[in-house]
């Protein structure tokens, strides 16, 4: 997420200028004084700005990360803080993930993606008219573990776990060999259609890894649900 964007404002009219200046403004997306547009920070865009520098000004320089973070804040912050118990903890994790990506733009952004997915699910719960009880983020279980969201429905609870699966299998000969080996064990009525020349090994590897991860997540989630349920005392006569 290291791409940058320029916010460009038109500050003067090109009426008495050369026709090429008007065309350059149009190319930038500007057509009146006070209009602001955002464009990718490229040599071509900077060259266009230089041609009409007396007619425009750059009012803001933003990274792709900042644009994403601003959009997430506008969409999710207010409802999350108001509608989710411990919503402040969820929001703090999002801001920490943003800061980690800001410090290392070329690093892994998986944590940021996970936080945004949790925010999206939280908003769905808030907006769902059938969800009428309190929604809590990561209440602690008796064994110290947590579940992402718990909705108190009075007689019972609704438990929601959010998982982000994004495997990154490399397109290698070894990945293709794994596909060939595993495909021999498929039933006759099952076929996974990929081609080696069209990153087939990577595609299959990602699908296989995703299914395996979800299986592990489901089993682990069931163990947490079991820990959440209170044990009933058994009377022995």
pTM for the full predicted model: 0.64
Q: Taking Cα atoms as reference points, which of 107, 109, 105, 72 lies closest to residue 91?
A: 72
Please provide residue 53's backbone torsions phi and psi, each rounded to the nearest 5 degrees.
-65, -20
In DSSP terms, which residues pair with 149 in a beta bridge?
137, 160
Helix (H, G, I), strand (E, B) or coil at 153: coil
In sequence order, which ranges of 104-199 are alpha helices (DSSP H)? Answer: 110-127, 173-183
Is residue 63 within 8 A of residue 2, CB to CB? The reply is yes
Could you give the angle at the alpha carbon of 104 between the alpha carbons of 99 and 105, nearest 5°?
A: 95
Per-residue pLDDT of the chain (237 residues; tens, 9 = 90+): 567 788 889 999 888 778 888 899 999 999 889 888 888 888 898 899 999 989 998 887 777 888 889 999 999 999 999 999 999 999 999 999 999 988 887 777 888 999 999 999 999 999 999 888 999 999 877 777 788 898 988 888 888 888 887 777 888 888 888 888 888 888 888 788 788 888 888 888 888 888 777 777 787 777 777 766 554 433 443
């Amino acid at each position: 997420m290291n791409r940058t964007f320029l916010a460009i404002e038109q500050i003067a009219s090109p009426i008495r200028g050369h026709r090429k200046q008007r065309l350059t403004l149009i190319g930038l997306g500007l057509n009146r004084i006070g209009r602001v547009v955002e464009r990718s920070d490229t040599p071509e865009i900077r060259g266009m700005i230089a041609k009409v520098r007396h007619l425009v000004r750059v009012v803001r320089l933003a990274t792709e990360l900042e644009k994403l973070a601003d959009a997430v804040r506008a969409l999710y912050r207010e409802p999350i803080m108001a509608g989710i118990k411990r919503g402040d903890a969820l929001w703090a994790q999002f801001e920490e993930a943003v800061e980690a990506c800001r410090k290392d733009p070329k690093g892994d952004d998986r944590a940021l993606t996970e936080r945004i997915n949790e925010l999206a699910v939280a908003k769905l719960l808030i907006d769902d008219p059938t969800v009428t009880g309190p929604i809590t983020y990561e209440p602690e279980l008796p064994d110290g573990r947590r579940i992402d969201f718990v909705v108190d429905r009075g007689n019972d609870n609704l438990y929601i776990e959010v998982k982000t699966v994004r495997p990154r299998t490399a397109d290698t000969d070894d990945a293709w060999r794994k596909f060939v080996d595993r495909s021999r064990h498929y039933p006759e009525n099952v076929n996974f259609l990929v081609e080696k020349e069209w990153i087939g090994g990577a595609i299959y590897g990602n699908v296989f890894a995703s299914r395996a991860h979800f299986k592990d997540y489901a089993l682990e989630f069931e163990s947490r649900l079991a820990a959440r349920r209170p044990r009933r005392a058994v009377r022995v006569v």
